Chains A and B, each alone.
Chain A
């Protein structure tokens, strides 16, 4: 495996097939039609939402579902939603996890770095009230200013990507 080289035929065929599909229009996209699946209101797009993910001690289940959103089967980009690398760029903070004591300062600084108007969407049961981790010593109380910034909550452990997508697409409209 390490030494022998094969021509990159599989790749080339894939790419050529795609170009052919693009030029002739004969292709099916991976995702279902947005209007049929999510309703015309949501599918209309025309929004611009930059999302920054903030892990506050999740079990990484919510991260799995958040990163699933960018795959071609959900294709969150078509709704005008984008994950951003910096809190400075973001409109929405997608907060996962029960808010551990050790991450308190970092979470506070992340939110403080965002430009107005900004809001928080909490994702997963434990981001709401601690969920299954409610009874441990390791959780901190969310400061009031973070609590006030929460505009939506997506329940589930973890929530389905579809539920997260709906929440991200709908809520920030008022704040953004």
Chain B
């Protein structure tokens, strides 16, 4: 039903060419007609497709001499669908049709493309300055080909931004504008929030990011090769180092058409779950700390620290850097599986106990329930992803289930079973093999701070079960020392230039997607990466602003948040500024 071919047959009038993909789970179509693209995206939005990302590519120096856009969708039937749209209108070489009406989540990407490529949609407004603020000269477009680092540097240096005097922000009667940031009071990242307040109630919030823009995509293209890019990928967003490098490696491996050795897949799965556990523990601790509940917060912070120390023991780095390499994993020594198993069990017991206390304590609940509500509908239309989407009731939205790869695709391990029961749908639905110490029910997932905290606890527990299964699997393989890495260099050289590969990994925040196009001599011609934070920042705004309560039939009740609750909501989303700003 949701097969993309059916959609193309139904709505497309112009020619649509399907190009073969090496990976059987991917599909690629070239759509030349803008109207077709819009109709097809509308069809996709009606058929439960999830919009992943939009990649722009400057192919003016290649055979087609134009810009191209690649739209990436995740289909409900398990395929990753790429729609290629060439910007072939000679009168408007930088204009493209906007799919915003069917997928509003594309908006931040459109702003971004305007800054980095100078591309803008036919309809719908875009503004500059989301990534490149006033210090950058106009029409800078760093991601266009031919703009070398030296030229860009020179232009930025020569440019002196106009000195603007602070101007008053126009506000409606009785409202107050309150700008906060970009530098914040705690040990947190830089970003600016502008609140529109009526008393303490937040009517609207404008989130302005981009302060941490480091030009990472360009850096991939100018200074890194496919074999070494993982080093930079690890430093895109430090708290998801492992997931980022895993997604990057996955993209390179899918480009080379190899599957990593089985033991390496086990290790990757195990470490990805360790990262998830560690960050969920840290987030729970931080959330409790923000409620000023010192005793439990410090206990939870101890659990978090112990997970980082476990990481250190397993692979020599507290944030699991330097493990993933394209083609497999690189471990300094074979870690003690017993240590991993025992430590994680102890920590899980403590975390679950503490998490349960927080969830059950009335005073904590009072702060969390109905605070920062992101309704299921808003999550779906806004393109929210990862834990945030799941906490709003879209509990199936998980790339480990939608597009299983690596260890999640091994049927014998049955990891999907474990994942599917993270949220308890009903008590009799739970198979006897699966045990939940802190059962979280679907009715708990109502998109508020409470739901996000509860889901963090549940997912931490799932991660522990997954780790246990993977440890058992690794034990079974025994001491046979098979290589953990396949050499990729030659395979990559054999791949034709300007071929692209897609890599993804479900980090603890949501799916991370890398889109890599190979250049000559294993260079990276184009690297586009999408951190889950990108869409979730929009979702967070939606959760904060004052809006009618959809659960109230009379429509007179409003969901509103007060300013003092903003830190709590922010922490419950815990989005990456660095991952957004790139």
A and B touch in the complex (CB under 8 A): yes
CA distance A20 to B153 in the complex (A): 63
Residues of chain A lying within 8 A (CB to CB) of residue B360: 1, 4-6, 8
Known: A10-B356, A11-B361, A59-B235. A1 touches B441 (CB 8 A): yes
Q: How far is B347's CA from A29's CA once the two chains are assembled, in angstroms?
A: 18
Q: Name the CB-closest residue of B to A62.
A: B238
Q: Are A137's CB and B149's CB within 8 A?
A: yes
CA distance A74 to B36 in the complex (A): 59
Which B residues are within 8 Å of any A CB, using their own CB?
Answer: 132-133, 135-136, 142, 149, 152-153, 156, 182-183, 185-190, 210-216, 218-219, 222-223, 231-232, 235-239, 241, 282, 286, 295-296, 298-299, 301-302, 304-306, 308, 318-319, 321, 353-354, 356-357, 359-362, 369, 438-441, 443-444, 446, 450, 454, 576-578, 581
Chain A residues whose CB sits within 8 angstroms of the CB of B357 once the complex forms = 8, 10-11
| Given A8-B361, A68-B305: A106 touches B190 (CB 8 Å cut-off) | yes
In the bound complex, how far is the Cα of B187 from the Cα of A53, in angstroms?
6
List B contacts of A22 (CB < 8 A). none
| Interface of A toward B, CB cutoff 8 Å | 1-2, 4-6, 8, 10-11, 14-15, 18, 30, 53-68, 70-74, 83, 85-86, 97-98, 100-107, 110, 126, 132-133, 135-140, 157-158, 160
Nearest neighbor of B182 in chain A, beta-carbon distance: A106
* Of A54, A60, A74, A104, the contact of B578 (CB 8 Å cutoff): A60
Once the chains bind, are A60 and B440 in contact (CB under 8 Å)? no
Residues of B close to A18: CB separation below 8 A: 295
Contacts of A30 in B (CB 8 A): 302
B238 A58 Cβ-Cβ under 8 A: yes
**In the complex, the 7 A-B pairs of residues with the closest C-beta atoms, listed nearest first:** A61-B238, A137-B152, A136-B215, A85-B185, A138-B215, A71-B301, A59-B238
Name the CB-closest residue of A to B298.
A72
Q: Determine the distance from Cα of A146 to Cα of B329 in the docked complex, in whole angstroms.
A: 41
A133 touches B214 (CB 8 A): yes
Bound: A64/B275 CA distance, A = 13
Report yes or no: B187 in contact with A135, Cβ–Cβ below 8 A.
no
Residue from the set B142, B238, B299, B356 with the largest chain A CB neighbour count within 10 Å: B238
Cross-chain contact B219 with A71 (CB below 8 angstroms)? no
CB <8 Å contact, A110 and B440: no
Q: Which of A57, A65, A68, A160 contacts B211 (CB 8 A)?
A: A57
The answer to whether B210 touches A55, judged by C-beta atoms less than 8 angstroms apart, is no
Contact B214 A1, beta carbon cutoff 8 Å: no
Q: Which residues from chain B contact A101 at a C-beta distance below 8 Å?
A: 133, 135-136, 156, 213
Across the interface, name the chain B residue whose C-beta is closest to A107.
B183
**13 further interface pairs, Cβ-Cβ under 8 Å (given A100-B213, A105-B135):** A1-B439, A5-B360, A8-B361, A57-B212, A59-B241, A71-B298, A71-B302, A71-B305, A85-B186, A100-B214, A101-B213, A136-B149, A136-B215
Please determine whether B237 and A60 come into contact, CB atoms closer than 8 angstroms. yes
Q: Which residues of B contact A68 (CB under 8 A)?
A: 301, 304-305, 308
What residues on A are CB-neighbors of B214 within 8 Å?
A: 57, 98, 100, 133, 136, 138-139
Cα(A58)–Cα(B188), bound, Å = 10
CB distance from A56 to the nearest CB of B (A): 8
Bound form: Cα–Cα A56–B578 in Å: 11
The answer to whether B186 and A102 have CB atoms under 8 Å apart is no
What separation, in Å, do the CA atoms of A85 and B440 have in the docked complex?
Answer: 36
| Residues A104 and B238 in contact, CB atoms below 8 Å apart | no
- Most A CB contacts (10 A, CB to CB) among B188, B306, B443, B576 go to B188
Chain A minimum-CB-distance residue to B444: A1
Q: A8-B357, A63-B188, A137-B149 are in contact. Are A103 and B182 (CB under 8 A)?
A: yes
Q: Complex Cα distance A136/B237, Å?
A: 17
Distance in angstroms between the alpha carbons of A48 and B168 in the assembled complex: 40
Nearest residue in B to A101 (C-beta to C-beta)? B135
CA distance A56 to B213 in the complex (A): 10
Q: Are B213 and A138 in contact (CB under 8 A)?
A: yes
List of A residues within 8 angstroms of B132 by Cβ: 102
User: CA of A58 to CA of B577 in the docked complex: distance in angstroms?
Assistant: 10
Q: How far in angstroms is the closest Cβ of chain B from A163?
A: 12
A1–B360 Cα distance when bound, in Å, is 7
- Cα distance, A6 to B454, chains bound together (Å): 15
Check B211 against A102 for contact (C-beta < 8 Å).
yes
**What CA separation (Å) do A41 and B458 show in the bound complex?**
45
B578 CB contacts on chain A under 8 angstroms: 57-60
Cβ-closest chain B residue relative to A94: B187
Known: A10-B353, A57-B214, A60-B237. A66 touches B187 (CB 8 A): yes
The 8 Å CB contact of A55, one of B152, B189, B296, B440, is B189
Residues of B within 8 A of A65 (CB): 318
Q: How far is the CA of A58 from the CA of B191 in the complex (A)?
A: 12
Q: Report whether B302 and A137 are in contact in the complex, using a CB–CB cutoff of 8 Å.
A: no
Query: Contacts of A126 on B, CB cut-off 8 Å?
Result: 235
Distance in angstroms from A125 CB to nearest chain B CB is 10
Within 8 Å by CB of A136, from B219, B298, B318, B443, lies: B219
**Does A136 contact B156, Cβ atoms closer than 8 Å?**
no
Return the contact of A135 from the options B223, B369, B438 (Cβ within 8 A).
B223
Q: Is B444 within 8 A of A2, CB to CB?
A: yes
Contact A137 B142 (CB under 8 A): yes
Whether B149 lies near A61 (C-beta < 8 A) is: no
Q: CA of A57 to CA of B295 in the docked complex: distance in angstroms?
A: 32
B217 closest partner in A (C-beta)? A136
Does A2 lie within 8 Å of B232, measured CB to CB? no
